[in-house]
Structure 1
Amino acid sequence: MITEPAPAKINLALHVRARRADGYHELETLFAFVADGDVLTFAPGPASFAVTGPFADSLAGEGDNLVLRAARGFADAFGVAAEGAWVLDKRLPVASGIGGGSADAAAALRALARLHGVGLDDPRLFAVADALGSDVPACLLGRAALGTGRGEQLVPLDDLPPLPALLVNPLVAVSTGPVFRAWDGVDRGPIAEGATLARALAGRNDLEPPARSIAPVIGAVVARLQATGPLIARMSGSGATCFALYEEEAARTAAVAAIRAAAPDWWCLETRLA
């Protein structure tokens, strides 16, 4: 059996530059990953797929999970059998802007690559990831990176410290498509140059205003995070998960205690940058 982590991604900054003729958007984003997320296991043999964990019910009845699509894509690309028993421990909320499904797909590709002796830098593996979704290549890389294009053109970044992080989701699912469609179309400029954390602090998430128009509670989440005195607090991806980074673990511990007391129904994850 192979066990592969599927850590959550966060967008430290996400600048939407233009709508493209192919229906996608031209982006600049600073990807980062945390130490925690879903966990995927695989054992070769008869085909099956099961979901466990606190958010398993959110995927109930989903006929074609990204994990299975990733396995089929790997089998087609490398001419090997990729059938087996998959078990996804779903610890991250779905439709939440932290790449849960994309991270799961990337974990499936890494697991199969380990099984079949395929290097993670094999361009065929990247091509499979790219065909599955714009965030899957970044999740396959699994490290901080500057993403451009649709987010699939990646430049690794090596200067992010393992800062304590807090992820908060009000348990409101936000679909990516409506958020992008609600973007106002204004190009507010590129991500700055310099050290990654400084670039993040100077940046923004252009999808936060349209996401707030769809799910106003996002504004309340960001406000509560900002009130805890973090280095940065912002929505990730297309929402509704928001994050905060702290200099010390004690500050993060105090922050999560305050948020859980004020909003006990919100999902919180205490973690750190990986």
Structure 2
Amino acid sequence: MTVKLFAPAKINLTLHVTGQRADGYHLLDSLVVFVDAGDQIAAQAADVSSLEVTGPFAGGIPTGPDNLVMKAAEMAGVPMAMTLDKRLPPASGIGGGSADAAAALKAAARLRGRPASAEDVLSLGADVPVCMRAAPARMRGVGELVDRVRLPALHMVLINPRVEVPTPAVFARLADKENAPMPEALPEFPDGIALADWLSTQRNDLEKPATKVAPEIGAALTALALMPDVLMVRMSGSGATCFGLFEDRENAEQAARNIAEANPWWWVKSASTLPSV
């Protein structure tokens, strides 16, 4: 039996860094959504785990034990022959590796019939628990606290200027690690425009330090901000992928075409959020 699973991109609509633990891990408060752009994993039971990587971003992706997908298979205790169709740029702040690991864990559960424990999931990375759910959520702590939220549909353009941004380098540039969280109770949002308006009052605390590491992020944000119908723009995660929100998918697709034509070396993708469940 072959199991095929979609590994959607994770977008941090907000990312507030609220503290740092004694062990060095940072505390976050982040509103997260998932979109209809992502990777795909195909897996089947095998005597020994293996990984083949295909797709436009296959180059340079390790296939050995250091890959999160292989670590997920080892942790689950289910040897699998896996093929990863890599369509998201690596090290880009949209959770590609974490989403791939989550998909591998789900594949192992389908083949074995037993889900991974919460502790094992978190051991693979802070984003893996929320990627296991792949639905709108508020993520807090070091990633172990995940609360589902109901959000209206959002339509967006994603831009990655084809630069990889190491997360440790971004956190090293963050001057203040004790910042205010989002409100304890989130507002009700009647539509995407209301949500975009509220998001404009929130932050990604890593955006400024990431831009210092990779100035190309500033160019991507500017390109999005110059689109006539954009509602708001922000960087996702620790970068370098940026997003702009639009009222509908048609406007997002037109903006993506315009930006891609002017910047053919960038990764540009229109996307819409996956629904709340």
Q: TM-score, normalised by structure 1?
A: 0.91
| Contact 1:30–1:200 (8 Å) recurs in 2 | no
1:125 paired residue number: 117
| Contact 1:145–1:156 (8 Å) recurs in 2 | yes
2:97 paired residue number: 101
- What amino acid is the match of 1:203? Q
Q: Distance in 1 between matches of 2:91 and 2:170?
A: 12
Q: Secondary structure at the match of 1:64?
A: coil
1:195 paired residue number: 188
2:60 paired residue number: 58
Q: Distance in 2 between matches of 1:222 and 1:62?
A: 35
- What amino acid is the match of 1:148? R
CA deviation profile, 1:59-97 (whole Å, cap 9, x unmatched): 14655210111111112xxxxxx1121100110000000
CA deviation profile, 1:126-167 (whole Å, cap 9, x unmatched): 222101000000101111111110122111011x22322211
- What amino acid is the match of 2:165? V
Which aligned segments of 4 or more residues in structure 1 are displaced greater than 4 angstroms? 60-63
| Contact 2:158–2:242 (8 Å) recurs in 1 | yes
1:146 paired residue number: 138
CA deviation profile, 1:95-133 (whole Å, cap 9, x unmatched): 0000010000000111111222235xxxx4322210100
CA deviation profile, 1:216-239 (whole Å, cap 9, x unmatched): 110110111111132221100000
Determine which structure has the larger helix proportion and give its number: 1
In structure 2, relative to structure 1, the CA distance for the partners of 1:261 and 1:253 (3 Å cut) is same
- What amino acid is the match of 1:246? F
- Aligned residue pairs total 263
- What amino acid is the match of 2:61? L
How many percent identity over aligned positions? 44
Cα RMSD (Å) of the superposition?
1.6
Gaps of 5+ in 1: 76-81
In structure 2, relative to structure 1, the CA distance for the partners of 1:202 and 1:195 (3 Å cut) is farther
CA deviation profile, 1:22-45 (whole Å, cap 9, x unmatched): 111111000110012000010112
Q: Secondary structure at the match of 1:185?
A: coil
In structure 2, relative to structure 1, the CA distance for the partners of 1:29 and 1:199 (3 Å cut) is farther
Q: How many angstroms does 1:244 deviate by?
A: 1.5
**1:45 maps onto 2:41 in alignment:** no
1:236 paired residue number: 236
Q: Secondary structure at the match of 2:210?
A: helix
**1:163 maps onto 2:164 in alignment:** no
Gaps of 5+ in 2: 190-194
Moved more, 263-272 or 93-102: 263-272
1:208 paired residue number: 207
Q: TM-score, normalised by structure 2?
A: 0.90
Q: Secondary structure at the match of 1:110?
A: helix
| Contact 2:51–2:64 (8 Å) recurs in 1 | no
Q: Distance in 2 between matches of 1:242 and 1:208?
A: 9
- What amino acid is the match of 2:143? G
| Contact 1:92–1:100 (8 Å) recurs in 2 | yes
**1:6 maps onto 2:7 in alignment:** yes
1:270 paired residue number: 270
